Structure 1
Amino acid sequence: MDLRKLTDDVSVSPQITAADVPHIAGAGFRSIMCNRPDGEEPGQPELCDIETAAQQEGLAFTCVPIVSGGVGQDDLNAFDKALHDLPKPILAYCRTGTRCTMIWAITQVGRLDSDEIIGCADKAGYDVRAVVDQMQR
């Protein structure tokens, strides 16, 4: 499992499995957000299995499925609402963690300084410079 902290409230991860959920709960997370459509690729863990495991561990769970490369305003709004509503800290996951990080960065433009957004993502191993620069224009 590869948990990468963006802020005290939000971390991201590549795809998780139901077997990872007890470890996620043990790491102190209170919520899990899936940003991957179910069935995006063959062999992908079933969303319902991860949700059930989260519920068994007492974690809040939500899915904001975002098609890679096809982010719309409704996706951004749903992601932002989940960040606001879910108990923190939150673990958001997708296939590699990049999608979650990019969406997080977009939703933080105007709230956090652009250097802070870029720095948080960079420490987690993701480069969001281009998306933050684009959003600033």
Structure 2
Amino acid sequence: MIIRTLTHDFSVADQITQDDLPTLISSGFKSVICNRPDAEGEAHLGQIEVEAALTEAGIEFRYLPVNGAAITELDVAEQAALVNELPKPLLAYCRTGTRCTKLWALDPARTDSADQRIASAAAAGINIEDLRGRLG
């Protein structure tokens, strides 16, 4: 698991494995959002297993599966609502962290410019240049 910090209270990561759970639990995150559908791609640790481990450790967990190739305005609104409601710091994860970053960048409540969002993502090692037209 590679954790990439986008803001002081929001980070993204690639797929969490069973071996990553102790590190994630001790990392200080108060909330985790899973944006990867359980049935997507190769076999991976499902949201039920992750949720059980995190909940037992007192970390809030939400499952919001999103198709990374077709992020909708509803996906963005649902993610933004979760980010607003959940305790911080917060980690969102998917297969690579890119779709979580795109959801973060597309949040209409963000006040930074498209250039700043793209630069923040790039500084974290994620390219979201393909979103420039949607970032306003």
Fold similarity call, TM over 0.5: yes
Equivalent pairs counted in the alignment come to 136
Q: Within 5 Å, give how 1:1-137 maps onto structure 2.
A: 1-107=1-107, 110-136=110-136
Change in Cα spacing, 1:117 to 1:102, as seen in structure 2 (3 Å) is same
Query: d(CA) in 2 for partners of 1:135 and 1:123?
Result: 18
Q: Do the aligned residues in 1 keep the contact of 2:11 with 2:92 (CA within 8 Å)?
A: yes
Q: Deviations over 1:47-100 (max 9, x none)?
A: 100000111111000011101212112111110001101111111000011111
Q: Secondary structure at the match of 1:4?
A: strand
Query: d(CA) in 2 for partners of 1:12 and 1:86?
Result: 15
* TM-score, scaled relative to structure 1: 0.90
* TM-score, scaled relative to structure 2: 0.91
Query: d(CA) in 2 for partners of 1:108 and 1:5?
Result: 20
Change in Cα spacing, 1:51 to 1:114, as seen in structure 2 (3 Å) is same
**Unaligned runs of at least 5 residues, structure 1:** none
Query: d(CA) in 2 for partners of 1:115 and 1:68?
Result: 21
Moved over 4 A (4+): none
